[in-house]
Amino acid sequence: MKALLLVLLLAGLAVAESREVTVRTFPPHVSVYRSADAPGGLALVGTSDRPVLLEREWFLDSQGRLGNLSLVVRSPGYRDQTLVVSWEQLASGLECRLTPTSWWVGLRDRVRVHPQLLWPGLIPLAAAAGLRWLAVEARRRAQAATSELNALQNLQAGLQADAGDPYLGKKFGPFVLTRRLGVGGMGCVYRASGPDGEVALKVIRPELSDQGEFRDRFWREIRLAGKLNHRGIVKVYCCDQQEGLLYYAMELISGRDLSELIPPGGLEVNAALALFLPALEALEQAHKADIVHRDLKPSNILVEDCGRVVLMDFGLAKSPDSPPLTATGAALGTPAYMAPEQIMGRLDKRSDQYAMGIVLYELLCGRRPFLENDLSVIWKHVSEEVPAPRSFRADLPAELESVVLRMLAKDPEQRFPDLQDVRIALTSLDRSSLRQPVVDLPAGEVWRPYPPGRPE
């Protein structure tokens, strides 16, 4: 009798035996069910993020023999997976991989489990998006630049076709226009006579003068330029409007611009620096007054008959706290001398340094680094490295070449911090073995420029 009770007790313990099982699934954290007679046919036994407790009695058939148990693994977005397992299989744990109902669900959970897989996909995606943005932006700016160029060409063609300039002999304020001196991107420059003598008077193009935003910024920036007082900067006397046309009067300079003084092979180093350093010093003074010129080029740097180097045309100048002075959304300036960031619509004082680097390059080599037309040169400035000056002129000092190339770095952060550092780098060059510069002037005189650093 005691033996029979012991056997029954052991049988009861055996029937009540249970086992904790680890269910490894993909995706993780899914629900595990067993087949049951309950409503719906399934009974939740746990989730795969913690061990599942399975009872031995679930494996017994109607005759008390061990059989197999059906487990159902279920997760939203995946097809149900049925696992048929025996009691002995539980010792090693269970594994299954669910099949997603769509590729997106599988990709989503794979990235959640292995986020490092996201980077190889994001990098080309970001690169493609960036290239797409650059292409759209370049196309927009090219269209705007083409529109500006066409308007300028139409203006020039109209003035050349009309033998009588409509503005000649006309009075703007107290000034009478007597001679047309040239046509620029923003308008025409005339020689004019006034109460205190002759001046240069610039009449802004009508399509720019008609725009209210442009007019407001024009007043602010041209008055700011009028406050500059330096022997190397042309003086702006006044600005006004007449019949809807904006104009400003400035000092009339008698002489030639740098573009007329540069020979095909470039100037001697001392001659080039003697012309460049006074212009650099004048621009440095403008920067100290928080004014960015943003249209620097040889034709805007004049050499008077007496030898004075004068920085001209602050019509595009701006202060750092001013929005861009642009009427169509295009970056104003001369494409052949524009810094990469200026082409993209952002500029600061270091953008002027880039333009002056192009001017110095041209003084030394007799050519610009990029000779393409207005539209293709924009891409060159943004994407291509500047050819080394000594590839066009082997006798240039290596130290001078390194200064020029640093001024022309694509990244503004890699240029000189300011123009004073540029001037110090140029004046400290060893030029003892170079010839003394001699510049022929229109009057037949010979001018030997003062040494760098001489007081005004």
State the catalytic residues.
295
SS3 8: helix
- In the structure encoding, which two tokens stand for residue 448, read together? 């030997």
Say if CB 233 and CB 282 are below 8 A apart.
Answer: yes
DSSP string of 133-182, one letter each residue: HHHHHHHHHHHHHHHHHHHHHHHHHHHHH-SS-TTTT-EETTEEEEEEEE
Half-sphere exposure of 319 (CA within 13 A, CB side): 17
Strands in 68-74's sheet, in edge-to-edge order, are 42-47, 31-35, 68-74, 81-86
Ramachandran quadrant class, 77 (left: phi over 0; alpha: psi -120 to 50; beta: rest): left
The strand pair at 245-250 and 197-204 is best described as: antiparallel
Which position has the token pair 């012309």?
A: 275
Distance set, CA 287 to CA 98, 118, 159 (Å): 67, 46, 36
Sign of CA dihedral 264, 269, 274, 279: positive
Angle at alpha carbon of residue 173, lines to 167 and 174, rounded to 5° = 105
Query: Residue 434: how many CB atoms within 10 A of its CB?
Result: 16
Both tokens of 325, joined, read 């002075």
H, E, C per residue of 28-55: CCCEEEEECCCCCCEEEEEECCCCEEEE
**In sequence order, which residues have a C-beta less than 8 Å from that of residue 14 and are 6 or more positions away?**
56
User: Strand 18-21 vs strand 23-26: parallel, antiparallel, or unpaired?
Assistant: unpaired
Distance, CA of 194 to CA of 347 (rounded, Å): 36
Alpha-helix residue ranges (DSSP H) falling in 210-291: 212-226, 258-261, 269-288
